[in-house]
Chains A and B, each alone.
Chain A
Amino acid sequence: MASLARRRTTDYVVKAISTGFAALSLVLLAWILWTLLSRGLPALGPHVFTKITAPPGAGGGLLNAIVGSLIQIGVALIVGTPIGLMCGTFLAENGRGTQVANVVRFVNDVLLSAPSILIGLFVYQLLVVPFGGFSGWAGSAALAILVIPVVVRTTEDMLNLVPIGLREAAFALGAPQWKVVTFITWRAARAGIVTGILLALARAAGETAPLLFTSLGNNGWSLNMSAPMASLPIAIYQYAASPFEDWVALAWAGALIITVGVLTLNVLSRLVLAKMK
C-alpha cells in the first residue's frame, strides 16, 4: 500500500481535477449562453416579431416561423398529452406489475431516446408520401410522437409518488376507478404531471430534425395546416447556413428566443419537481 502522504496527494489531485471538470462544464454552458446573447441580442428587435421571413436585405423577421412553431407545438401537445397521460396512468395504475406494462415501459424508454430524425422519416412515410405533400399536420404528428414518451415517463413517475392509501380510501367509499384516477390520483399528482407536459413542450420546441421532412418550412405566411408550414428551428437552420449577414443575424435572434424559452421551461419544471420530491 502506498504511503499515507501519497494517498492524500492522490486524493487532492483527483478532487482538484473533478472540480475542474465541473467548472469546465459550467464554463462551456456559460460560453454557449454568452454566444447566444452577444450575437442574438443585437439582432433582436421588434421586426423579428412583427415581420415575416423575407429575401436577404429586405428586412424580414421571423413572425411566420414563430407562429408556425406555436401552432405545430400546440397541436402536438393537444394530441400527444392525452395519449401520454393515459399511457402513463396505465403503467402506474392498471398495468402496474404486469408483463404488458413492463414491455410498454421498455418501448417507451426506447422511444424517449430514439433519434428524432427517424421520427421525421417515419412520419414522412406515414403522412407525407400518402397524402401527397409536406404539411403542418405532419409536422405536428412528428412532434406529438416526441411529446408522448416524455409525458408517459413523468406521469408514471408522479403517479407512483401518490400514496396507495389515498386510492384505497377512495375505492372504499365506493368510487369507480375512473373517478379515483381523475379526482384523486391525477389531482394529487397535478403539479408533477403539468411539469411533464412543460418538459415535453420544451423538447418539442427545440426539435429541428423531425420537421425537415414533415412540415418542411415555408418562406411565406401560412396558417394552412395542410400546406408546408414555417417553424422557428427550420428557419434558424436555413438562415444559419446561408451566406447572407442579415439572415445569419436573424438565425442568432431565433436561436436566442428558442433557448431562453426552452431553458426557462426547464428551470421552472425542475423547481416544481424538486418541491414535489
Chain B
Amino acid sequence: MAASISGTEADTALLAAHKPTGRISDPIFVGLLWASGIFVLVLLGLIIAMLFEGGLPALREFGISFLWSTTWNPVTERFGAGVMVFGTVASAVIAVIVALPLSFGIAFFLTEIAPGPFRRPIGVAIQLLAAVPSIIYGMWGFFIVVPLIAAYVQPPLIEWLGPIPLLGALFQGPPLGAGMLTAGLILALMILPFITAMFVEVLESVPPMLKESAYGVGATSYEVYRNVSVPYGRTAMVGAVMLGLGRALGETMAVTFVIGNATRMSASLFAPGATIASTIANEFPEASIGSLKLQSLLQLGFILFVISFIVLALSRLLVRSKLKG
C-alpha cells in the first residue's frame, strides 16, 4: 500500500499492472456476442433471399399467376402453386378447427380440474406429443389411422352426408383413407401440445384476484374460465392459435404420408391433396438442377416461407403484447 501514498503516478502504474485482464479480451468477447446476434438476422435474410432467387425463374416463366394457377403438370412443364397453397391452408385450418376445442378443454382441465399432484405429469405427457418426430406421426398415420378412417369413418359419412346438397360436396369420392381430412386430423394432434402449453401459460398469468372475485359472487369454475380467464388472455390465446397454425402450415413428413399426394384441386375432405411442403418433399427427387420444376419447387418454398412468416410474426406480436403487459 506504500505506492498509493507516494503519489498519483505510482498509483496509475499499479492500477495498470493489475488491470490488464479484459482490456483486449473484452472487446473481442463482446464483439463475438454481437456478431452471433447479427448472424441470426443475416441467416433469416439469407434464407429469404436464396429461396426467392432460386424460385425467380419460375415466377418469370409463369408470371404472377403462378400463385393461383391450379396446373401442376411435370410432363408439359406447366406449373402453378394454386393446388398446394389451397391444400396447405385447408389442412392447417382443419387442424386448428379440430385442435382448438381440444386445447380449450385440456387447458381447462390442467388449470382448474386436475388435482395438484397430477397436473405436471399430465402436462408433461401432453407436451411429449410435441416431441414425437414428424416422421413417426407419418408412419402411425399411414399404417394405423388411414386404414381405420377408410374402413370406419369415411363410408358412413359418404353415405349419410354425401347426398346433402352443398354440404355433401365435402364428403365425396372413394373412401381412400388418405386425404385432406386425415392430414388435418394428424396435424391437429401435432399442434395440440403447442396451443395447449401456451393456453396454460396464459391462464396461469390471470391474476387470482380476478378469478376469486368471480367465485365470490357465486360463479362456477366453467363460468370463471369462460367469462374471466379466457377473456383476460384472449389476445395471447389468439397468438397461441396462430402459432399452431404456423406449425401446421410447414409440417412435412407427417403430411406427406397421409395426404395422398394428388396435385388436383378438390372440394371433398376425403379427396387426396397436396400441401406445399409435401409437394416439395415428394417431387424434389425427380427435379434436376436448373430445371423449371426445381425452380417452381423453390418458388413454392418461398411462398410457404412468406405465409408462415406472416402467421408466426402475428402470433408472436399477439403473445408478447399480452404476456408483457
Contacts and interface: CB of A to CB of B under 8 A. Distances in A.
A172 interface: no
B128 A266 contact: yes
Given A113-B247, A117-B252, 20 more contacts: A15-B222, A29-B128, A31-B144, A84-B36, A86-B32, A90-B34, A104-B40, A110-B312, A117-B250, A118-B47, A121-B54, A176-B23, A177-B22, A178-B26, A178-B30, A212-B284, A213-B284, A240-B135, A252-B139, A266-B131
Interface residues of B, number: 90
Interface string B50-77: 1101100000000000000000000000
Contact of B37 (A10, A26, A90, A113): A90
A258 interface: yes
Contacts of B47: 114, 118-119, 122
Contacts of A107: 40-41, 44
30 contacts: A8-B220, A11-B223, A18-B108, A21-B102, A25-B126, A95-B37, A100-B37, A104-B40, A110-B312, A110-B316, A113-B308, A115-B305, A115-B308, A118-B47, A118-B51, A118-B250, A118-B301, A118-B305, A148-B43, A178-B29, A181-B29, A208-B133, A212-B281, A212-B285, A213-B284, A233-B135, A236-B139, A252-B139, A266-B127, A267-B124
Contact of A83 (B22, B39, B243, B280): B39
Interface string B11-31: 000000011011101101110
A138 B60 CA distance: 29
Given A107-B44, A113-B247, A176-B22, A263 B222 contact: no
Interface of A: 7-8, 10-11, 14-15, 17-22, 24-26, 28-29, 31-32, 35-36, 39, 82-84, 86-87, 89-91, 93-95, 100-101, 103-104, 106-111, 113-119, 121-122, 125-126, 129, 145, 148-149, 152, 174-179, 181, 202, 205-209, 212-213, 233, 236-237, 240-241, 251-252, 255, 258-259, 262-263, 266-267, 270, 274
Interface of B: 18-19, 21-23, 25-26, 28-30, 32-41, 43-44, 46-47, 50-51, 53-54, 101-102, 104-106, 108-110, 113-114, 120, 122, 124-129, 131-140, 142-144, 189, 192, 220-223, 243, 246-247, 249-253, 257, 277, 280-281, 284-285, 289, 297-298, 301, 304-305, 308-309, 312-313, 316
A267 B134 CA distance: 18
B135 A237 contact: yes
5 closest A-B pairs by CB: A176-B22, A115-B250, A206-B133, A21-B105, A86-B36
Contacts of A152: 40
Contacts of A237: 135, 253
A57 B252 CA distance: 30
Contacts of B21: 175-176, 179
Nearest to B42: A107
A90 B126 contact: no
Nearest to A236: B135
Contacts, number: 260
